[in-house]
Amino acid sequence: MHLFLSHSIIGASTLVNFDFYPDRDHTFCRICGTIFQAEITKADDYDTPGNVLFAYGERREWSHKHSLTHTATQHRQLAESGHFITPEAAHRLAAYGIAPIGDMVFSDEHAKACLESSSLPTDNVESTLKGGIRVHAVR
């Protein structure tokens, strides 16, 4: 069992073209910390059963495709570490308000990664599967 905390991003309203909704469904890579949130998740009528199921399918598909961007060695090292996420992922996710509490308690490296993270995200979340993976820049 792994414990992590997810909370709102202080100052997110100051970011241009930032469209991550931390209170809505999303997923993230436990190796690199990339976050995916399906476009439909951001719609006003997202809470319908069909939309929720569609977004779940997109998150699963993204997770599978994204996992192929990492080597078998990276996957094995994470599994063997006993940690929920890597320190690199912890560093990136902390800026989005996602903190691996269990890893921070048992690993100084994870705690330091979270503490040294940017106070605001430096890039947007991935949100589409069309034509590969798209990342929006935040300036």
Q: What is the DSSP string of the chain?
A: ----EE---TTGGGSTT----TTS--EE-TTT--EE--GGGGSTTTTSHHHHHHHHHHHHHHHHHHHTTS-HHHHHHHHHHT-SS-HHHHHHHHTTTEE-HHHHHH-HHHHHHHHTS-SS-SBPPB---TTS----B--
Which residue did the predictor score with more confidence, 22 or 84?
A: 84
Please tell me the predicted confidence (pLDDT) of residue 29.
Answer: 96
Given a cut of 50, is residue 96 above it in pLDDT? yes
Is-contact 37 43, C-beta < 8 A?
Answer: no
Q: What is the pLDDT at residue 1?
A: 44
Q: Which amino acid is at 128?
A: T
pLDDT higher than 90, residue 87: yes
Q: Measure the CA–CA gap between 15 and 33, rounded to whole angstroms.
A: 19
